[in-house]
C-alpha cells in the first residue's frame, strides 16, 4: 500500500483553499462590474398601492399601440415572459380559467418585455386567449417585478387588490369573477 507524504496532503488542501478564495474574489468583482446590488424593495407592489399607467404594443400586431389605464374596470394584469417555463404553464392556467369564466370576466392583460418574435415562437403565448402586449423594461421596474410570472389584480379604482407570483388555477378563476375584484379577496 502506498502512502502519500503529509506535505502533499497539506499542499492539496492549501490549493483548494486558494482556489475557493479566487472564486470568491472573481464573484465579487463580477458583481461589482455588473453593478449587482441587493434588492431594496419588496417583490411586487403592495396591496392598496396605485397601479402605474403604461403604454404598450400588441404582440400579435406590433404596429397597434395602446395604453393601460388602471382606473375604470377591474383587470388581471400578468407579467409573463415567453422564455420562462413557469410563464408558459401560467398561460395554460389563464386560458383554462378564461374558458371556464362566466359571461363577463374581468379584463385580462398579459405583459412581456421580450420581443414580439419570442411571443410568436411560443405557442402558449401566440395562441393565448388573453391579449399579450409588449412593454418597456421600465414598466416592469415600476411594478417591481423581479421574476415572472407575477399576477396583479387591479381594482376598478386603480389600486392593487392583490398580487403574487404563479397563482393557481383557482386563484386565477376567482380573480376573473368581476364580483371578487376588490381589495383582500384573493389570498396566495
pLDDT digits (tens, 9 = 90+) for 90-143: 898 888 888 887 677 788 899 999 988 899 999 989 888 888 999 998 888 888
Give the SS3 label for residue 17: helix
Helix 85-100 vs helix 169-176: crossing angle, to nearest 10: 50
Decide if 126 contacts 58 (C-beta within 8 A): no
Question: Which structural domain range is residue 82 located in?
Answer: 54-180
The 3 state secondary structure assigned to 40-101 is CCCCCCCCCCECCCEEEEECCCCCCEEEECCECCCEEEEECCCCCHHHHHHHHHHHHHHHHC
**Total structural domains within the chain:** 2
Q: What is the pLDDT of residue 36?
A: 62
For residues 183 and 180, the model is more confident at 180
Residues 12 and 80 in one domain: no
Residues 118 and 146 in one domain: yes
Q: Can you say how many angstroms the Cα of residue 138 is from the centroid of all Cα atoms in its chain?
A: 14
Q: How confident is the model at residue 184 (pLDDT cuts 50, 70, 90)?
A: very low
Residues 1 and 70 in one domain: no
Mean pLDDT, residues 51-78: 88
Predicted model pTM: 0.70
pLDDT digits (tens, 9 = 90+) for 40-54: 546 788 889 999 999
Residues 108 and 150 in one domain: yes
In a domain, 162, yes or no: yes
Q: What is the largest CA-CA distance in the chain?
A: 83
Walk across the sheet containing 107-112 and list its strands.
65-68, 54-58, 132-134, 107-112, 75-79, 150-154, 160-165
Q: How confident is the model at residue 25 (pLDDT cuts 50, 70, 90)?
A: very high
In a domain, 186, yes or no: no
Nearest to 151 by CA among 83, 97, 72, 71: 97
Provide the CATH number for the domain around residue 135: 3.40.30.10
Amino acid at each position: 500500500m502506498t502512502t502519500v507524504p503529509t506535505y502533499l496532503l497539506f499542499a492539496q488542501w492549501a490549493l483548494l483553499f486558494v482556489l475557493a478564495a479566487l472564486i470568491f474574489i472573481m464573484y465579487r468583482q463580477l458583481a461589482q462590474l455588473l453593478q449587482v446590488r441587493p434588492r431594496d424593495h419588496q417583490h411586487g407592489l403592495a396591496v392598496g398601492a396605485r397601479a402605474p399607467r403604461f403604454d404598450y404594443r400588441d404582440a400579435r400586431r406590433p404596429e397597434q399601440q395602446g395604453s393601460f389605464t388602471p382606473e375604470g374596470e377591474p383587470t388581471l394584469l400578468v407579467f409573463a415572459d415567453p422564455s420562462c417555463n413557469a410563464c408558459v404553464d401560467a398561460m395554460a392556467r389563464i386560458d383554462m380559467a378564461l374558458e371556464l369564466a362566466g359571461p363577463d370576466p374581468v379584463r385580462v392583460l398579459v405583459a412581456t418585455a421580450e420581443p414580439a418574435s419570442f411571443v410568436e415562437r411560443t405557442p402558449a403565448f401566440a395562441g393565448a386567449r388573453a391579449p399579450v402586449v409588449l412593454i418597456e423594461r421600465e414598466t416592469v421596474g415600476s411594478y417591481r417585478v423581479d421574476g415572472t410570472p407575477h399576477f396583479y389584480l387591479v381594482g376598478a379604482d386603480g389600486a392593487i387588490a392583490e398580487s403574487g407570483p404563479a397563482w393557481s388555477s383557482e386563484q386565477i378563476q376567482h380573480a376573473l369573477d368581476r364580483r371578487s375584484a376588490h381589495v383582500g379577496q384573493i389570498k396566495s
